Amino acid sequence: MSLDCCLRHVEVGLSKYEIMSNRLMDLLRAFTFMFKDRNWLIKLAAMALFVVLCPAPVIGLLCFCALLGYQAEIIHNVSRDYPRPLPEWDHIGEDIGKGAHVLMAIALYHLPLVLIVGLLYVARETLAVSVFGSLTFAGVLAAIVPLLMIYCFIAWTLLAIGLVNYAESWESGAFYQFNKLLRSIGNHGDLTLQWLVYSLAASMILLLLLPLAPFLFFPVQGYVTGSFGRRLQSARMQRRDANIRAVPAADVMRLGIDGPEGHVPPRSNETAGS
């Protein structure tokens, strides 16, 4: 093996190590970014108040919507790389409206799961009256649980990408453009898998901080999803630029779109003379 080949392998290895190190630092930053805000104590205290009020019958739903809307704004600010992504609590009505769209999407995405679990509960009550019925239910459960796990994985990834798109456009239809969402998973599966791993890792860390977990959940997961959105937008732009550069000059001129540098190629002599 030549020296140049060895150096290339070392360079690639260092590059991958640097990327993983940056990802890890980004995950840790999800637990510390809020404390860099000058008004972090006031903002987190307001968030804690909404979390405490969530169990209340009617006002709790509004508080939960406000927290979801606030989390969506964190995703928006982080994905746009704002220096202080923790929003102010000066537009609670807007937060409730934005959070209502997020809550509706969460409910619709999990509706099939709730229905299947309900059917399993009815089946258990019906079949588990005898030994044979219990064995039948156990077999059905063993067959369905893996499918439910696959559905949860797909639903959560679609919901995360939909949440990123919603925080970018503030259009509730972003959650239900399934062709676009599935295409994003296909084109950027590595980023989606990274988000899933980091989101689960953040949840496990929150479990270790259990007394504070309800109060840190929204900013931490908002930052993780916002970082995913920032990388996703960058990957989309790179893919779009690569596709534009791959289009021949004649096709660019025929389609009437700009070239990769915003320059339309000049018309050929043959075209100009026709």
Read off the pLDDT of each residue in 162-175 and give the average, rounded to a whole number.
96
The Cα 30–Cα 33 span in angstroms is 6
The per-residue pLDDT for 70 is 97
132 pLDDT above the threshold of 60: yes
Helix (H, G, I), strand (E, B) or coil at 67: helix
Please enumerate in sequence order all residues whose Cβ is within 8 A of that of 97, keeping only pairs 6 or more positions apart, or say none: 65, 69
Dihedral of the CA atoms 111, 114, 120, 126 (nearest 10)?
Answer: -100
pLDDT of residue 143 exceeding 80: yes
- The alpha carbon of 128 is separated from its chain's Cα centroid by a whole number of angstroms, namely 40
Q: Which of 122 and 256 is assigned the larger pLDDT?
A: 122
Question: Token digits for 236?
Answer: 């989309």
Least confident of 2-6, 74-78, 161-165, 173-177: 2-6
pLDDT tier at 20, thresholds 50, 70, 90? low
> Tokens representing 46?
């307001």
CA 244 from centroid of its chain's CA atoms: 27
Domain ranges of the chain: 101-254
Residue of higher predicted confidence among 49 and 26: 49
Angle (nearest 5°) at CA 126 between 121 and 127: 100
The reported pTM is 0.80
Mean pLDDT score of the chain, rounded to an integer?
Answer: 84
Q: Do 264 and 252 contact (CB within 8 A), yes or no?
A: yes
For residue 27, what pLDDT band results from cuts at 50, 70 and 90? confident
Q: Is 45 left (phi over 0), alpha (psi -120 to 50) or beta?
A: alpha
